Amino acid sequence: MTKRVLVIEDEPDLRSTLQFNLKSENYKVTTASDGASALAEISKNIPDLILLDLMLPDMSGLEICKKIRGESFSDKVSIIMLTAKGEEVDRVVGFELGADDYVVKPFSVRELMLRVSSILKRSKEKASNDEKIVIGDIEINLASHRVFISGIEVELTAKEFELLKYLTERNGRIQTRELLLEHVWGYNNSVTTRTVDTHIKRLRSKIGEVGTRIETVRGVGYRFNYVV
């Protein structure tokens, strides 16, 4: 099936260049020059991948990314941010909000095409293996809610399971405590960020050596970090 790519870029020349090159790679391409038209397009046709400029005339790419990651179809959409900003803080915020990759302008169009291909390939592999998550020596069976470390089953509570699942699905991405509260616990005023810290501590102790892959990002949150 032909993959659908949405280019959100306000510079006409760059937008046309990306559209031409993506079509040459046999992708179905749509474009938008601002946030409002981009969100309208996404509501009509959910793309497989979005090339998202950070600086748009009506809203920031970060805001658009956050809106997309709050939708039920979020896991089906990959996002590559395009920006002239190269500072680490911008990259951290982008990954924190759910970007899959980050490309600083000016960039090689050929390199970008390779990144697009790589991310879409990973997405396809993930979709074909929806029943379980396998990363290194961890196997998370989504259907039976069972976790195996090096083939040995580990008993986790429902929240510990959801926490490990959420972090491993976003391998390499920083997740704030607030995001973890929202997606693992849901909206619950009685739950505080301290709850996240407590569950992370218990989870680490239960999964042993693998627990060292759950990194604390001081002042921000946590990241599961396993280099494939």
pLDDT digits (tens, 9 = 90+) for 89-120: 666 777 778 888 888 888 899 999 998 998 88
Give the CA angle between residues 144, 78, 131 to the nearest 5°. 15
pLDDT in tens, 159-193: 899 999 999 989 988 999 988 988 888 755 556 78
Asked whether the beta carbons of 66 and 77 are under 8 A apart, the reply is no
Q: What are the extents of the domains in the chain?
A: 4-127, 132-224
The answer to whether residue 88 scores a pLDDT higher than 80 is no
Q: In which residue are the tokens 């060292």 written?
A: 212
Q: Which residues contact 46 (CB under 8 A, 6 or more apart)?
A: 4, 73, 76, 77
Collapse the DSSP code of 29 into the 3-class scheme (helix H, G, I; strand E, B; otherwise coil) and give the result: strand
User: Considering the domain 4-127 in this protein, what is its CATH number?
Assistant: 3.40.50.2300
* 129 — pLDDT class (breaks 50, 70, 90): low
| Residues written for the chain | 228
Quick one: which H or E segment has residue 78?
strand 78-83
Please tell me the distance from the alpha carbon of residue 21 to that of residue 54, in angstroms, as a whole number: 20
- Tell the residue number behind the tokens 């699942």, with chain if given: 165
The reported pTM is 0.58
The answer to whether 20 touches 92, Cβ cutoff 8 Å, is no
**Half-sphere CA count of 79, side-chain side, radius 13 A:** 29
CATH number, span 132-224: 1.10.10.10
Give the tens place of pLDDT for each residue, 60-82.
999 999 899 888 788 789 999 99
Q: Which residue has the higher pLDDT, 125 or 135?
A: 135
